């Protein structure tokens, strides 16, 4: 008998599986606004011109393809930390912030989960809702995943009071995940004053913050502004962990570029933590890939390419924001009497539409429009060409 005879067909991934279902649909006007990957206004994948230029420079240098170290490309890590924590971060200058190159955000989350589990953590707190993959990533790291309130579906807004109340009850020393900006899937972030309250509460309750920075630059269009929450926590003296992903802001999805870092109480402590990250990485995947990290460090190390990046990243954020307004306006134009203002109020890559699972399934079967079951619409997939089609479908299932 086959050694695989007892293997059952696993269910499709709720987000990635949507693409497979979409591929099988042969309706010509089908639309997918599922996975969070940026598209240009013609609906095509977009490679930032600064990335193209950096690649050309790399090809011209005829670099070798030797292994990276376990912690990856140190120059990339240094530039990435400056990008996240700020060029003139005091903690960075003191050497208290150190990290490793990670297999993008996902890989960084997994290594972090594994590392804190080895160091006595039994659970981690995440917002409800959160990016779907957070839960299995941390469960696979051996952690119990607990949730704190985040979103009020009845009025499509941040449930800040509920968030504060739940965080107040979290046991001291617990690790609590925060989305640095452009919360996925809700598109609702705390204001700066609310971040300040959170920072004080985390201090008072002795909680261990862990920032997921997957959308730096995608929220406001300004990568510096989008790091405000993280930088505030560091300035307030928190010791914390962070993952950074370069999938969205640099459009390097398939290159798997990211960083996992910590802010320790001193440089020697931060170095000890990095040594433990390496203990997790070596038997897991040995070392990370080179090319994407070289692209990012080429860009961040060159004043011209860096300013091109800031501009091109803003261009993506601006296009998505224009589409938010268009989508809301189209919904009104087709006669929807529901309030869709939250689509415009939300930020980042997603519109958390408020459509329920039944409505989502009806859009799929009747209109060949694919979004995730929680009603999350990737604004990156909305274009001048399909926005009224999408509005019609949304109105049809929600009237
Ligand atoms: N965190 C959040 C909140 C995300 O939305 C994503 C991607 N959808 C990631 C992390 C990880 O993405 P990647 O592994 O491509 O960096």
Q: What is the ipTM of this complex?
A: 0.99
At 308-337, the pLDDT tens digits run 999 999 999 999 999 999 999 999 999 999
Q: Which of 248, 308, 326, 340 is catalytic?
A: 248
Pocket perturbation via mutation, ligand 1, pick of 230, 245, 257 by most ligand atoms within 8 A of CB: 245
Q: What was the pLDDT predicted at 208?
A: 98
At 193-242, the pLDDT tens digits run 999 999 999 999 999 999 999 999 999 999 999 999 999 999 999 999 99
pLDDT at residue 35 above 90?
A: no
Sole residue written with tokens 């994948």: 45
Establish whether residue 36 lines the binding site of ligand 1, counting it when its CB lies within 6 angstroms of any ligand atom: yes
**Torsion on CA atoms 259, 263, 267, 273, rounded to nearest 10:** -60
Q: What was the pLDDT predicted at 15?
A: 82
User: Can 212 be counted among the known catalytic residues?
Assistant: yes
Are 138 and 113 within 8 A, CB to CB? yes
Burial label for 39, CB within 10 Å (0-12, 13-18, 19+), is buried
User: Can 248 be counted among the known catalytic residues?
Assistant: yes
Six-digit token string for 45? 């994948």
Distance in Å, CA 61 to ligand 1 centroid: 31
Q: CA-to-CA distance for 244 and 249, rounded, in angstroms?
A: 10
User: Can 131 be counted among the known catalytic residues?
Assistant: yes
Q: Are strands 97-103 and 369-370 parallel, antiparallel or unpaired?
A: unpaired
**Torsion on CA atoms 181, 186, 191, 192, rounded to nearest 10:** -20
Q: CA-to-CA distance for 219 and 189, rounded, in angstroms?
A: 9
pLDDT at residue 12 above 90?
A: no
Q: Which of 73, 189, 212, 308 is catalytic?
A: 212
Return the higher-pLDDT residue of 291 and 218: 291
Six-digit token string for 22? 């979409």
Q: How confident is the model at residue 192 (pLDDT cuts 50, 70, 90)?
A: very high
Q: What was the pLDDT predicted at 38?
A: 95
380 phi/psi in degrees, rounded to 5: -65, -20
């Amino acid at each position: 008998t086959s050694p695989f005879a007892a293997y059952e067909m696993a269910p499709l991934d709720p987000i990635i599986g949507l693409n497979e279902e979409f591929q099988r649909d042969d309706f010509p006007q089908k639309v997918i606004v599922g996975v969070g990957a940026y598209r240009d206004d013609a609906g095509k994948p977009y490679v930032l011109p600064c990335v193209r230029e950096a690649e050309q420079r790399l090809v011209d240098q005829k670099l070798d393809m030797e292994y990276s170290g376990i912690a990856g490309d140190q120059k990339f890590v240094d530039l990435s930390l400056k990008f996240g924590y700020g060029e003139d971060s005091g903690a960075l200058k003191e050497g208290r912030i150190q990290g490793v190159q990670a297999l993008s955000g996902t890989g960084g989350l997994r290594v972090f989960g594994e590392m804190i589990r080895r160091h006595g953590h039994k659970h981690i707190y995440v917002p409800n809702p959160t990016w779907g993959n957070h839960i299995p990533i941390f469960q696979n790291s051996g952690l119990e995943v607990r949730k704190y309130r985040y979103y009020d579906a009845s009025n499509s807004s941040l449930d800040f009071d509920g968030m504060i109340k739940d965080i107040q009850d979290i046991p001291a020393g617990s690790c609590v995940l925060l989305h640095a900006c452009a919360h996925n899937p809700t598109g609702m972030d705390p204001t700066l004053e609310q971040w300040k309250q959170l920072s004080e509460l985390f201090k008072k309750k002795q909680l261990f913050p862990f920032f997921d920075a997957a959308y730096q630059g995608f929220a406001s269009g300004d990568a510096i502004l989008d790091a405000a929450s993280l930088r505030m926590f560091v300035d307030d003296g928190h010791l914390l962990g962070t993952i950074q992903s370069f999938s969205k802001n640099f459009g390097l999805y398939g290159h798997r570029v990211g960083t996992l870092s910590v802010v320790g109480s001193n440089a020697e402590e931060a170095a000890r933590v990095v040594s433990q990250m390496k203990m997790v990485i070596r038997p897991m995947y040995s070392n990370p890939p080179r090319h994407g990290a070289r692209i990012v460090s080429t860009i961040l190390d060159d004043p011209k390419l860096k300013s091109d990046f800031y501009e091109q990243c803003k261009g993506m954020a601006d296009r998505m924001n224009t589409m938010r307004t268009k989508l809301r306006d189209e919904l009104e134009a087709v006669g929807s009497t529901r309030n869709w203002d939250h689509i415009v109020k939300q930020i980042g890559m997603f519109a958390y539409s408020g459509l329920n699972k039944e409505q989502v399934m009806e859009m799929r079967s009747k209109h060949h429009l694919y979004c995730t079951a929680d009603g999350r619409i990737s604004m990156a997939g909305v274009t001048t060409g399909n926005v009224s089609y999408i509005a019609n479908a949304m109105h049809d299932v929600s009237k």
